[in-house]
């Protein structure tokens, strides 16, 4: 049998006396869209950061296709994040001095793609997401929802195997949050990548194929949903 895309085996992580993760074992398969929910401080971001190799658990291991990525060197984990993962954060984190096209192209150039190819890919990705008209626009001249769409394009442009998103709609009003989550889940599904998304909002989580609820650093529930089709 194929190894799961991502797997954690009883991972724990403490920050000083605070036990953020108290033993989490889970698997994520390719193509799954997973929402991580739970109260503030329950360990959601810490779990996301362990899965994406930003943090290393104190005990237990994170595997990708059976490879123990949490035991890789810092350099190899950075390489993994840049080449095989995409990230979307709450506030977009676009570079304010660069227009959308260059924001999307930058991670590609960092992995060695020539500038002209990176720009073509960036334009193609923006177009695919229906925001080609934003290519030349600076982040400061975009709405929050537009900036998040550009951030999604940036996360998708390198064809990652997993997109990690921490509260990607947290700074948006309900209507634009809804549009952004719909765009994120449908485009991720089209590419066959997996999505691991942290959210407080059940209306966001219901666009995913699975909801894992974390409480006090452990998995409280883990259920699969019928996949909602975009309207």
**Contact between 148 and ligand ATP (CB under 6 A)?**
no
In the complex, least distance from residue 81 CB atom to Mg ion, rounded to whole angstroms: 18
Q: Which of 45, 83, 176, 191 binds ligand ATP (CB under 6 A)?
A: 45
In the complex, least distance from residue 90 CB atom to ligand ATP, rounded to whole angstroms: 9
**Given the complex with ligand ATP, which of 115 and 220 has the nearer CB atom?**
220
The residue among 67, 81, 78 whose CA lies nearest residue 6 is 67
228: left (phi over 0), alpha (psi -120 to 50) or beta: beta
DSSP H helical segments within 16-114, as ranges?
44-51, 74-84, 100-110
**81 contacts which partner out of Mg ion, ligand ATP, none, CB within 5 to 8 A by kind?**
none
In the complex, least distance from residue 43 CB atom to ligand ATP, rounded to whole angstroms: 4
Cβ-based burial of 86 (10 A; exposed 0-12, middle 13-18, buried ≥19):
buried
**42 contacts which partner out of Mg ion, ligand ATP, none, CB within 5 to 8 A by kind?**
ligand ATP
C-alpha angle 73/159/5, rounded to 5°?
55
In the complex, least distance from residue 62 CB atom to Mg ion, rounded to whole angstroms: 18
Cβ-based burial of 62 (10 A; exposed 0-12, middle 13-18, buried ≥19):
buried
Residue 34 parent element (H or E): strand 33-37
In the complex, least distance from residue 43 CB atom to Mg ion, rounded to whole angstroms: 9
**Contact between 90 and Mg ion (CB under 5 A)?**
no
Name which of residues 5 to 44 contact ligand ATP (CB under 6 A).
15, 18, 20, 38, 40-44
The residue among 26, 110, 14 whose CA lies nearest residue 55 is 14
Q: Which residues bind ligand ATP (CB under 6 A)?
A: 15, 18, 20, 38, 40-46
């Amino acid at each position: 049998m194929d190894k799961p895309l991502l797997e954690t085996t009883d991972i724990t992580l403490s920050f000083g006396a605070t036990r953020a993760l108290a033993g989490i074992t889970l698997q994520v398969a390719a193509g799954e869209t997973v929402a991580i929910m739970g109260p503030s401080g329950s360990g959601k971001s810490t779990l996301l950061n362990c899965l994406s190799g930003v943090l290393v658990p104190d005990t237990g291991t994170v595997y990708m296709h059976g490879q123990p990525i949490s035991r890789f060197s810092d350099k190899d984990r950075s390489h993994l994040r840049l080449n095989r993962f995409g990230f979307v954060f709450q506030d977009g984190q676009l570079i304010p001095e660069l227009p959308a096209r260059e924001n999307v192209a930058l991670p590609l150039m960092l992995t060695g793609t020539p500038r002209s190819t990176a720009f073509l890919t960036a334009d193609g990705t923006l177009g695919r997401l229906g925001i080609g008209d934003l290519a030349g626009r600076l982040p400061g001249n975009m709405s929050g929802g537009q900036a998040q769409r550009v951030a999604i394009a940036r996360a998708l442009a390198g064809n990652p195997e997993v997109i990690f998103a921490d509260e990607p709609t947290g700074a948006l009003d309900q209507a634009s949050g809804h549009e952004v989550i719909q765009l994120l889940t449908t485009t991720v599904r089209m590419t066959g990548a997996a999505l691991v998304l942290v959210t407080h909002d059940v209306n966001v989580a219901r666009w995913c194929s699975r909801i894992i609820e974390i409480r006090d650093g452990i998995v409280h529930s883990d259920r699969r949903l019928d996949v909602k089709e975009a309207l």
